[in-house]
Homo-oligomer: A and B are copies of this chain.
């Protein structure tokens, strides 16, 4: 786990088979590591960036801005996520990237990623596949926002975080925790902070979760998955067929 991009390699290889050359190419990179406080914008809309942000620890939000300056979170990223890998093909940001709490970030130069993309077709496909997973999460979020009532929606987001955290190996102990404030959570789920507080209490009363300041703990996973109508297939957590590039 010593190489900067090790967690990113782990992430990619859960979804794609990678050649040892491609892996070596990634691990050879040595990007700058920076630590940021919450609410310090890493990327702002309109900015043209020449690096992508790899989350090493902490939580990072991708947001969209309305013309009155208010923001809405579209996605939240955890350790191992290259949270704006999409900036490689589109360096002009229409989005913003901001840590939700103290976070360690590697700023990986686009040049390096593009060079590897051109050199290794399997890695190119893995990059593509990872942004597909990201898009799939966005599609699911959009449909839960438009189709599910707030309580089920919140439960769904909790389930997603639980499983993503599990796969990323960022769990503290063996309980599934979401280390996020209720206001960030409310922002993502599209409910007011007040209503979020009540929903979480209701879920806690049912025995599905426990809440603590800045943290949500899943205590009955089967229950919350039932409430959420959760089916993890959209997360692309299994590897692509190996013969994908064989022709």
Contact = CB atoms under 8 A, between A and B. Distances in A.
Contacts of A89: 125, 128-129, 132, 240, 244
Interface in A84-137: 86, 88-92, 94-95, 111, 114-115, 117-118, 121, 124-125, 127-129, 131-136
Q: How large is the interface on A (under 10, 10 to 19, 20 to 34, 35 or more residues)?
A: 35 or more
Contact of A247 (B91, B111, B231): B111
A142 interface: yes
Contacts of A240: 89-91
A64 interface: yes
A154 interface: no
A118 B19 CA distance: 15
Interface of A: 45-46, 62-64, 66-68, 70, 72-75, 86, 88-92, 94-95, 111, 114-115, 117-118, 121, 124-125, 127-129, 131-136, 138-143, 145-148, 187-190, 229, 231, 233-234, 236, 240-241, 244-245, 247
